[in-house]
Amino acid sequence: MISLNTNMASMAASYNSSNTNRELQKSLQRLSSGLRINSSSDDAGGLAVSMRLSAAIRRTEATDRNVNNAISFLATQDGVLGVASKVMTRLAELAQLNADVTKTTSDRVLYKTEFDELVDSIDSMTDETFNGTNLFTGGATLQVITSEDGSRTTGITQANLSAIHTSFSGINLTSTAVTTTIATVDAAIDDLAELRAQNGAEQSILSYASDLLKINQINLEAANSRIVDLDLAKESSNLARLNIMQQAGMSMLAQANQSNDAVLRLLY
């Protein structure tokens, strides 16, 4: 059928050319953004999954920061306990020096003064804080979330340094038996060693938790990348194909528009 009013070939060529141009614009947008999904119409299901994965990634990052802050809390606490350990070593030395029979009463008064001041310094350490949170509160436990969904936690201890200070309350270097003083200092050193061992164990647990969070983040980002990131090589090939199709479509549209010339020649 030959028709003057309707050029079906031209309409079909125009339709195909419009579709090709639309796909070409999408390809250019993907290549310029580096993303396979730039709007919900590109992949509604994939976009929904990506949104959930992106939220999980951000939560994982935040959780890891919190865990590392808790590690810093424990590291600061251990630093104070390390100073306390040096104090204990000096207290043990003073207790032994005080037992020297060649020392005068004045010598022992000087030892006692230093001994008492060092004991008081342990008490002052109990007021140390990390970002406003007490490092030492009598053995209380703070719960640290170690998973992005909040299902796992681990405790860190606000060490009971006050108990060590209290153990010296009945000690008077000039009047207490030297064996009692030495035994008290030794017991305090053992207690302090236990606090540092607990601190070290908690730091190790949190370090493992941080490692696991980092691994989970890598895997989540890899999964999200497979959904939203663009395969540049594949899309570049697609762009070249669409360019050829666009040029061919425009050429066919021009040919279809010229087909009515043959109809006009029938009229002359």
Alpha-carbon separation of residue 72 from 75, 122, 135, 138, 242 (angstroms): 5, 21, 11, 20, 56
Q: Residue-wise pLDDT tens for the chain (268 aa)?
A: 555 555 566 666 666 667 777 776 777 777 777 778 777 777 788 889 989 999 999 999 999 999 999 999 999 999 999 999 999 999 999 999 998 889 998 999 999 999 999 999 999 999 999 999 999 998 899 999 999 999 999 999 999 999 999 999 989 998 889 899 999 999 999 999 999 999 999 999 999 999 999 999 999 999 988 888 776 777 777 767 767 777 776 766 666 666 655 555 555 5
CB atoms under 10 Å from CB of 234, counted, come to 10
pTM of this prediction exceeds 0.85: no
**Residue 104 three-state SS:** coil
The b/e string for 170-192 (b: 16+ C-beta within 10 A; e otherwise) is ebebeeeeeeebbebbeebbebb
CB atoms under 10 Å from CB of 39, counted, come to 11
